[in-house]
């Protein structure tokens, strides 16, 4: 089970995995080893089931949250569960919460996504940008791949002498809907309290210190959620495990607009 927040790379990862598996030494006449299916597209599941074709060894289902609409038990029961086919179920918060409590969850191996490491973020954003532009993008975008890609595209479009204030205004406008989608996936009071605390400090913090400050025995479940939603980074640094709300753009949007939105 692959899960993560909006625009965190689920679809890209599945499509790359499909390409890789189908390139692994097969001849053009061989049956594909993997097939990708986007359940957000109306009729995609019916198309798969209606062909009568033998299923591939790996079936990758994206946007599984759509199975929860309407008669969820019937929808999920329609997915073939064959020992000869491994199914990769991918979705967001709603799918993850449902699958963890469902009867088939024992068969699933959870794979949460997360934001990038610092080095990965620099490799993503640097091509085509000056050193100053790359530093600017990283200082505002943190390590979220979608935010960094949006910033990089705006900077390249505006050229080597890009007006940074103009870029900031354009990025805030372009990313507002995305930020709202991310925040709507935060559904628990403890998660919101943790997010408030990390954004207010805007620096790496030890989880034990944060739990103590919030007067909670543990914040692991809440930090798990915020990490796979892409709202915070959580890495083991030289000084130990650290939590960090490192996307300045999201933090500023949240303090202006998001903190007033109700759970």
CATH number at residue 193: 1.10.10.10
Please name every residue paired with 61 in a beta bridge, in sequence order, or none if there are none.
37, 89
Q: pLDDT tens across 113-145, in order?
A: 999 999 999 999 999 999 999 999 999 999 999
Query: Looking at the structure, do residues 81 and 34 belong to the same domain, yes or no?
Result: yes
Query: Looking at the structure, do residues 56 and 91 belong to the same domain, yes or no?
Result: yes
Query: Looking at the structure, do residues 130 and 59 belong to the same domain, yes or no?
Result: no
Neighbours of 131 (CB within 10 A): 8
**Overall number of domains in the chain:** 3
Query: Looking at the structure, do residues 106 and 13 belong to the same domain, yes or no?
Result: yes
Range of the domain at 250: 189-260
From the list 119, 130, 173, 182, the residue with the least C-alpha distance to 152 is 130
Single residue among 112, 127, 147 that ends a domain in this structure: 112
pLDDT of res. 104 = 63
pLDDT of res. 149 = 97
Query: Looking at the structure, do residues 6 and 108 belong to the same domain, yes or no?
Result: yes
The answer to whether 219 touches 242, Cβ cutoff 8 Å, is no
In the predicted model, residues of the chain with pLDDT beneath 70 are 25-29, 51-52, 102-106, 239, 262-263
Please name every residue paired with 236 in a beta bridge, in sequence order, or none if there are none.
241
Query: Looking at the structure, do residues 63 and 149 belong to the same domain, yes or no?
Result: no
Q: pLDDT tens across 18-50, in order?
A: 999 998 756 555 778 999 999 999 788 777 777
pLDDT of res. 29 = 59
């Amino acid at each position: 089970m692959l899960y993560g927040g909006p625009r965190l790379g689920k679809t890209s990862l599945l499509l790359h995995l499909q390409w890789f598996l189908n390139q692994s030494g097969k001849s053009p006449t061989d049956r594909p080893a993997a097939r990708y299916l986007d359940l957000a597209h109306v009729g995609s599941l019916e198309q798969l089931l209606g062909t009568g074709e033998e299923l591939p060894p790996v079936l990758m289902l994206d946007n599984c949250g759509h199975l929860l609409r309407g008669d969820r038990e019937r929808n999920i029961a329609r997915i073939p569960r064959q020992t000869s086919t491994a199914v990769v179920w991918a979705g967001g918060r709603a799918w993850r919460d449902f699958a963890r409590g469902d009867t088939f969850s024992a068969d699933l191996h959870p794979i949460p996504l997360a934001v990038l490491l610092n080095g990965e973020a620099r490799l993503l954003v640097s091509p085509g940008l000056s050193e100053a532009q790359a530093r600017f993008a990283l200082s505002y975008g943190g390590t979220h791949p979608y935010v960094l890609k949006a910033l990089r595209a705006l900077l390249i479009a505006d050229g080597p002498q890009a007006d940074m204030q103009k870029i900031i205004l354009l990025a805030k406008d372009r990313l507002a809907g995305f930020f709202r989608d991310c925040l709507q996936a935060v559904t628990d009071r403890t998660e919101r309290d943790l997010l408030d605390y990390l954004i207010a400090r805007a620096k790496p913090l030890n989880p034990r210190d944060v739990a103590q400050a919030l007067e909670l025995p543990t914040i692991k479940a809440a930090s798990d959620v915020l990490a796979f939603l892409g709202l915070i980074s959580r890495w083991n640094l030289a000084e130990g495990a650290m939590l960090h709300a490192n996307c300045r753009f999201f933090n500023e949007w949240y303090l202006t607009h998001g903190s007033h939105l109700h759970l």
